[in-house]
Amino acid sequence: MRLKEITGVMSLIAALMVIAEPALAAGFSGAQAKADFLNGLWHPLGGLDHILTMVGVGIWAALVLTRKRLVWPLVFMLVMFMAFWARFIGVVIPYIEPGILISIIVIGLLIAFALKLPVVVGALIVGVFAVFHGAAHANEANAGSLLIYAAGFSVSTFALSLSGLGLGSLTEWSSGRLILRAFGAASALFGIYLLYMNY
């Protein structure tokens, strides 16, 4: 997928957000629904741990997949959404914070080594890490409507992964691939630092 196509997809998502938000708000207080959606939308952007992982999923897909590049971002978003709801119905998900930090490290290393894996295997990897991120969103949720809140963070999560796919266009430059792999290495080192400092 080329940068122009990525930009088009991101624009479409932004347009759908504007169109869908009133529909999502149906049945709720307008001000509350809007606040819930915006809270969800901004929540993944409030932590570098979330950003590095979600953007990293897109970059990894851009580096190693020639087709089906949207599969890993879609899997991450959908599994994260399901883990969010699972947490609320009482499913115990242990080691959430360490799992998030490990996701930064592993995704960073996968980028740094540009490791090519079958699409299904890659989907399993990002899906496992999405569970921890979804559970974290549940633990930190502060919204009147969880559905609208979840819709917000799902949109921003997918947009972050699409931005990673867009960064994949750097591979068209002679040194662009090296830059992306260096980003992965730096991300992994940052994750190791956070893990060391917190555990």
- Tell me how far apart the alpha carbons of residues 41 and 63 are, in angstroms, rounded to a whole number: 27
pTM of the model: 0.82
On the question of pLDDT at 10 being above 70, the answer is: no
Phi-psi region of 27 (alpha: psi -120 to 50; beta: other; left: phi over 0): left
Over the stretch 142-192, which tens digit does the pLDDT of each residue have?
A: 657 788 888 889 999 999 999 999 988 887 787 889 999 999 999 999 999
Q: Which of 3-12, 109-118, 148-157, 185-194 has the lowest mean pLDDT?
A: 3-12
In the chain, where the domains are located: 3-198
Closest CA to 55 of 97, 110, 98, 99: 110
